Structure 1
Amino acid sequence: MPEVDYIIVGGGSAGCVLAARLSEDAGVSVLLLEAGGRDKSFLFHWPAGFAKMTKGIASWGWSTVPQKHMQGRKIWFTQAKVIGGGSSINAQIYTRGNALDYDEWAVEHGCEGWAYRDILPYFKRAESNERFNDDYHGIEGPLGVSMPRATLPVCDAFIRAGQEYGMPYNPDFNGKAQRGVGYYQLTQRNARRSSAAVAYLNGAEQRPNLTVWTGAQATRINAEKGRAVSVDLYRGGTRTVVRARREIILASGAIGTPRLLMLSGIGPADHLRSVGIDVVHDLPGVGGNLQDHIDLCAIAELTGPFSYDGWDRPHKTMWAGLQYLLFKNGPAAASLFETGAFWYADETARSPDIQFHLGQGSGIEKGIVKINGAGITLNSAFMRPRSRGTVRLSGSDPFAAPLIDPNYWSDPYDREMGLKGLEMAREILAQPALSKFVRKEVLPGPDVRTRDSLFDYACKMAKTDHHPVGTCRMGKDAMAVVTPELEVHGMAGLRVCDASIMPRINSSNTNAPTIMIGEKAADLILGKPAPKPALFSFERNDACRFAVA
């Protein structure tokens, strides 16, 4: 039986960070297991390749169960199946959320060491920012963070429209304030995607103490006398068992990690028995507390060729590829979602609760309508949903798809705030600054005016924002799965280090926090002291003043 010190299950954003950081110690051996393949295609590295990703490339091909609060609709649920995970297929948007998100983890959920003042040094450690070098940003980390290189004039018009709507211009959503409208920072370096695989793993993989197996699907964690000791996996159709001398670290994300725990007999006992799995450790919180952001979009037809619609025609695609290869600009250099905003649907919210993403085209993501002519898409998403869902097994077959139930809009507040965000998106698109570009609203369209008709439209068009978290949450209560040190309650030698540990979803995209979790987890596993916390105070509406202690 092969044996290593650390086995990392899942080569996504957190898994790549962990593999790189743990293998910095030449005295330990590390094995990284990834069920998907390598990121060899140029689509993983050219920014605009994102447009292909949500449509099925390098994903598991899963959908949710019928959503009973959304007229029974099943929603396509993209989960990455490739080295680098979500960071290899996402829209490259680098946002961390709000400082208060992490303070709630520490104060309300008892997760000491996870307040914003504690985790900001890990965000900075990861980051190599091409523009900002200040109290909020780092410039020496492996992860490239850049400003957009392929925005069109309609993006500037959107930013002016946001200001006409009442939002201030914000040059840095990850700085002292989150609220406002502006350009996103992107996980790119030299106009190429800076995934966790590229940023962390490519260099680390040359170390003799790090082994990476792709096409390796873990099917079970084996335990002896209350300790996780080995992993069953299939690679190339052959079953292999690998033993861990020190720890097994799960980093397969908010769907994959609870799925593997339950297949291993670790989870809610009643559910495990119902699908024919022997209970090894009754841990009721596994697979619960699922949270996700859900997008609602407004689409406008433009007065001329002012977006990237039409560049998917063969001759234009060839020209865009040549332009990118020669000059590192043009349509292929666009992540397609380079501008956005954070604002308030609930005026009493403690910080922005709606996020907008402006898409430089229509039909960019799976399930979103592609219009005739040129268009733009404005996505809106409610950032702090109260609804909670589950991940469950459909049976004992380790290769069967899990039952994913985000339980969207089970709390009516989420539905109302989501619809309010959609109304706000329509109002922003109608501002004077965009009148030169926007001919008319196509969707929801002029016939959709009542709240009932807006709800019907939302149920048909809603899509996941690809941000599932929380299914192995950290804490100290009976439903917590891991401790604040990320150790699985009641099971030695086993940790969870990915977005599933979040007690509550952060108020933005989730990839940057997942990389932060990987950075902090590496210190916890290696027993390194935490960086010195930062000191800061808050003003109303999320603006914070910061100074290094």
Structure 2
Amino acid sequence: MGWWLKQFTLPFLAWSLIFNGLSYSEQVPKYTFMKDATSAPPILSYDYIIIGGGTCGCPLAATLSQGARVLVLERGGSPYINPEKIDINNFVNSLSDITPSSFAQQFISRDGVLNARARVLGGGSVLNAGFYSRASSKYIRESGWNETLAKESYKWVEKKVVFEPPMMQWQSAVRNGLIEVGVLPYNGFNLDHMHGTKVGGTIFDKNGKRHTAADLLEYAEPRRISVYLHATVHKILFNYNTEKRRPQAYGVIFKDAFGIMHRAYLNKKSKNEIILSAGAIGSPQLLMLSGIGPASHLHVHGIKVVLDQPLVGQGMADNPMNVVVVPSPIPVEVSLVQTVGITRFGSFIEAASGLSFGHSWSERLQGIFEFVSNQTLQHSMFPTKTKESIADTIGSLTNPTLKGGVILEKIMGPRSTGHLELLTNNPNDNPSVTFNYFKDPADLRMCVEGMKTIIDVINSNAFSKFRYHNMPVQALIDFMLHLPMNSRPKHSSAAYSLEQYCIDTVLTIWHYHGGCQSGKVVDHNFKVIGVEALRVIDGSTFYRSPGTNPQATVMMLGRYMGEKILKKRFFHGKK
């Protein structure tokens, strides 16, 4: 199945557009500068080449286009083709889609946890739960960023894509429950990061329509930007700068949906650069494929070493998430994350409700695991028949639409880190990723405290109308142990130990970071250390996830660094 997908998926997509009688740009009228890579000339030249039109790449490209010619190469398609596909009602279906044209590329980490990485213009903002909250002032200061410019950059993003969510019954009950159990103070609707309970921003408007980082391209100067879709970069090209005595990036090789090779070069000017914004999975992967990484690992894959950099792929992290599903005796609205409890012990409490899974969610989860396992030849580790005895008494949890909701916790940081390695030399293939969830005991302690808070919220008076009073929380925890949440082994003691429950039922919250960390792989200006004309600007440079959710800060960073780069370019040109 995996071979068939690789051989025929992208060519089929390109031919289908042609046989429909419409070019890609005609099907997607959002931007005149956005085209399918099959229409790209064999050789292109620009001032900046941005690899990845994601959550960071789009605001970065829009900003740089105000003063330079910019090329964006995005391996995925356009979110504007079928906007209903990504509205709030289709959140789960879009995120868990395993069809060849999906916006999400599924993979299973070496920890046995199902994950998804974006392959679409707008990146993770096309797939996520929409929550928008800034990083703390402390995080910004410790990152060495200018606080005034960071604040201005946040506001630039927020004018286009951020809304105040409508607080309906489920989210209000969780909010009031958090306040009742002592997650204080209550800070109301607020985009800033602060301890207590608050309502954050959302990228879903009042009609449930998703607004993404791709919308930030509306800020771009259309005469100075080109965005090519289904353009998969295979390699960054380097020559040797004799003056600086180090490698210098000068171009890239990318392939379109037909597999035809194109080359893009930097215009000959000292300040022109290639900028890697392919995300925490894609950026370290492409550095390695281009010859920057641990020399011994590159030799195994037959890759010529440009720079022996053993720290590429190190420090990989994902904030672990653990959930409790709460069936409701009364109807619930469809809602994604709006309320958050920011505790002082390092756990964040969030919630969602009324999620639609298309069919039994237990069956859907197991089906996705088996599909991805077959593609990667990883054993799924599921029993022959998923245990569903408890599900008989909680019928709402086996229906296509969850008649209730989930309350979840994720931990700050995390402290536990892992690594990324290549499996193949094909950039379309997922690398091997290990996150080492809960390897650091402090992470596990935060999870336990977070789970205790969730239990208290479920038992609170404020939440009482949304729970069956003859169904204790322990029954909900017992049920979770029988679902194919991940492919990790389950322990019977988990029903009586929150520590074991956290370990056995851990999920991803898709907040990957690390792999190209600042101070190790890139410097404080995001320039790759030891190389000229190459930067990495995205979440792969982070040591920990900013705030409760990273998307606000990743979008801000694109604008922030675009402004800094243009300012330096302008003043350099005046000298």
- Equivalence for 1:207: 222
**Counterpart selection for 2:103 from 50, 55, 58:** 58
Q: Quick check: 1:367–1:461 contact (8 Å CA) kept in 2?
A: no
* Pair 1:437–1:397, CA change in 2 (3 A): closer
Deviation at 1:363, TM superposition (A): 6.9
Q: Quick check: 2:514–2:543 contact (8 Å CA) kept in 1?
A: yes
- Equivalence for 1:84: 122
Residues 94-109 of structure 1: pairs in structure 2 closer than 5 A: 94-106=132-144
Deviation at 1:45, TM superposition (A): 5.0
Deviation at 1:450, TM superposition (A): 6.6
Residues 484-495 of structure 1: pairs in structure 2 closer than 5 A: 484-495=524-535
Deviation at 1:526, TM superposition (A): 1.5
The AA in structure 2 aligned to 1:275 is H
- Equivalence for 2:486: none
* Pair 1:399–1:196, CA change in 2 (3 A): closer
Q: Write the distance in 2 (CA, Å) between the matches of 1:190 and 1:423.
A: 33
Could you state the TM-score of these two structures normalised by the residue count of structure 1? 0.78
- Equivalence for 2:6: none
Could you tell me which runs of 5 or more consecutive residues in structure 2 were left unpaired when the two chains were aligned.
1-42, 241-246, 367-390, 482-491, 571-575
The AA in structure 1 aligned to 2:143 is W
- Equivalence for 2:477: 444
- Equivalence for 1:123: 154
* Pair 1:400–1:155, CA change in 2 (3 A): closer
Task: Tell me the alpha carbon deviations over residues 384-414 of structure 1, each in whole angstroms, 9 at most, x when there is no partner.
Answer: 2111111110133333320111111111221
Give yes or no for the alignment of 1:238 onto 2:280. Answer: no
Deviation at 1:357, TM superposition (A): 1.3
- Equivalence for 1:292: 318
**Counterpart selection for 1:391 from 420, 423, 435:** 420
**Counterpart selection for 1:470 from 511, 514, 523:** 514
Deviation at 1:77, TM superposition (A): 1.2
Q: Write the distance in 1 (CA, Å) between the matches of 2:342 and 2:522.
A: 31
Residues 150-549 of structure 1: pairs in structure 2 closer than 5 A: 151-167=167-183, 168-175=185-192, 178-189=194-205, 191=207, 192-198=209-215, 200-202=216-218, 204=220, 207-225=222-240, 226-236=247-257, 237-245=259-267, 246-305=272-331, 307-308=332-333, 331=334, 334=335, 336-344=336-344, 346=345, 353-361=346-354, 367=365, 371=397, 374-439=403-468, 440=471, 441=473, 442-445=475-478, 453-475=497-519, 480-528=520-568
Task: Tell me the alpha carbon deviations over residues 300-351 of structure 1, each in whole angstroms, 9 at most, x when there is no partner.
Answer: 222222x14xxxxxxxxxxxxxxxxxxxxxx5xx4x222221113x3xxxxx
User: Aligned pair count?
Assistant: 459
The AA in structure 1 aligned to 2:477 is P
Q: How much is the aligned-residue C-alpha RMSD, in angstroms? A: 2.5
Deviation at 1:259, TM superposition (A): 0.4
Deviation at 1:426, TM superposition (A): 1.2
Q: Quick check: 1:523–1:529 contact (8 Å CA) kept in 2?
A: no
The AA in structure 2 aligned to 1:145 is V
* Pair 1:463–1:450, CA change in 2 (3 A): closer
Q: Write the distance in 2 (CA, Å) between the matches of 1:118 and 1:232.
A: 34
Q: Secondary structure at the match of 1:289?
A: strand
- Equivalence for 2:384: none
Q: Secondary structure at the match of 2:187?
A: coil
* Pair 1:509–1:529, CA change in 2 (3 A): farther
Q: Write the distance in 2 (CA, Å) between the matches of 1:490 and 1:452.
A: 52
Task: Tell me the alpha carbon deviations over residues 450-505 of structure 1, each in whole angstroms, 9 at most, x when there is no partner.
Answer: 78643443344321111111221112xxxx11111111111111111111112332
Q: Write the distance in 2 (CA, Å) between the matches of 1:36 and 1:462.
A: 29
* Structure having the larger proportion of residues in helix: 2
Could you state the TM-score of these two structures normalised by the residue count of structure 2? 0.75
Deviation at 1:115, TM superposition (A): 5.8
Deviation at 1:271, TM superposition (A): 1.7
* Pair 1:387–1:123, CA change in 2 (3 A): same
**Counterpart selection for 2:82 from 41, 51, 57:** 41
Identical columns (%): 29
Of residues 395-404 and 251-260 in structure 1, the stretch that sits farther from structure 2 once superposed is: 395-404
Deviation at 1:250, TM superposition (A): 0.5
Q: Secondary structure at the match of 1:341?
A: strand
* Pair 1:302–1:62, CA change in 2 (3 A): same
* Pair 1:520–1:104, CA change in 2 (3 A): same
Q: Quick check: 1:44–1:88 contact (8 Å CA) kept in 2?
A: no
